[in-house]
Amino acid sequence: MSQIQNKKVPNLTAAIYNKINRFLTKPPIDNEIQVGKIRITNPNKVLFDLSNVKKIDLARYYAAAAKCMLPYLKNRITSVVRCPDGVEGECFFKKHLSTISEGISEINILNGDGELEDYFYIENIYGLIFEVQMNTVEFHTWGSRIENLEQPDIMVFDLDPDEGMDIKKVRQGVRDLKKILDNLSLTSFLKTSGGKGYHVVVPFVPSVGWDKFYQFAKNISLLMEQKWPDRYTSNVRKINRKNKIFVDWERNGRGATTVAPYSVRTRTGAKVSMPISWKELSKVTPSGIDIKNALRRLSKPDPWQNFFHTTQKLN
């Protein structure tokens, strides 16, 4: 693991975004703007054509969202989606470290073939903003932290509906899943995906290995399929998804990743995978929050404020 000195993370809130000039410590010089310690080159490069969201807009968003986002991102093996030519151009998934920066550390772990691989994780706001400088748009994380790498603590169910499905059916899918989790006395949380469906997220105290964790998530998906065979499928193949919702449990295996809360998505409109309250399910669509909406929400009460206070565990 690389030895990169940690610095104190600024206590940023959404209000700081409204006074962002205090955080931009240097004026543009040679087509650069400095956000904190990180130089953002080519800041006016448009990343989202239709929304006219520029690289500097993305950096400012993540600076404002850092306080809320880092608890879900910090010290988790991270993979990113980079779009050097904007989201309309070619984007690629990156999971190995290529450039060292303050706020980013490397970790060597065994892969499924028993070979050592180099991964990386973000430690603080500087690593987050540096990734934006490297043209990262999306952040995806493992379900465990590096200090308990083999004991996951975040389970994610991605409800992925068939094309064109009525939003009422998608929302019913979320309610059906929540009912099952409630019956198991499991507290769950809801966020938008930024795409077609919702994500239901269940926090745990680290207690079991990946195999048990993965099997538990699979059993929940199978139960939904068995209970409502006309509504849900646990099979990833799209041919089995006709008029149904795929309850994706596969994000809960070792090495799999899922999009982090507060992450912008590489989709038209600069949509955000945003935590929402259960009461908002009937009001907010899966792609209903964009980067501008997200910024406004940062100053409101956190719908996930008890996320890390849950003490539930698998045996």
User: Contact 54/44 with Cβ under 8 angstroms?
Assistant: yes
CATH architecture of 145-315: Alpha-Beta Complex (3.90)
- The pLDDT score that the predictor gives to residue 120 is 96
> What pTM was estimated for this model as a whole?
0.89
Q: Where exactly are the structural domains of the chain?
A: 1-141, 145-315
- Map residue 40 onto helix, strand or coil: strand
- The pLDDT score that the predictor gives to residue 32 is 77
Token duo for residue 114: 């028993």
In this structure, what are the phi and psi dihedrals at residue 191, rounded to the nearest 5 degrees?
A: -145, 160
- The pLDDT score that the predictor gives to residue 94 is 95
Closest to 38 measured CA to CA, from 53, 48, 23, 52: 23
Closest to 71 measured CA to CA, from 311, 286, 262, 201: 262
Query: How far is 226 from 166, CA to CA, in rounded Å?
Result: 22
Q: Which residues contact 78 (CB under 8 A, 6 or more apart)?
A: 95, 119, 120, 121, 122, 139, 140, 141, 142, 257, 260
Q: Which helix (H) or strand (E) holds 195?
A: none
* Per-residue pLDDT of the chain in tens (315 residues, 90 and over written 9): 333 333 333 444 445 444 444 444 444 445 778 888 899 999 999 999 988 999 999 999 999 999 999 999 999 999 999 999 999 999 999 999 887 788 999 999 988 788 899 999 999 999 999 999 999 999 999 999 999 999 999 999 999 999 999 999 999 999 999 999 999 999 999 999 999 999 999 999 999 999 999 999 999 999 999 999 999 999 988 887 889 999 999 999 999 999 999 999 999 999 999 999 999 999 999 999 999 999 999 999 999 999 999 999 998
Residue 110 burial (10 A CB sphere; 0-12, 13-18, 19+): exposed
- The pLDDT score that the predictor gives to residue 97 is 84
Counted residue by residue, the chain has a size of: 315
- The pLDDT score that the predictor gives to residue 29 is 46
Tens-digit pLDDT profile for residues 90-149: 999 999 988 778 899 999 998 878 889 999 999 999 999 999 999 999 999 999 999 999
Strand partners, 136: 82
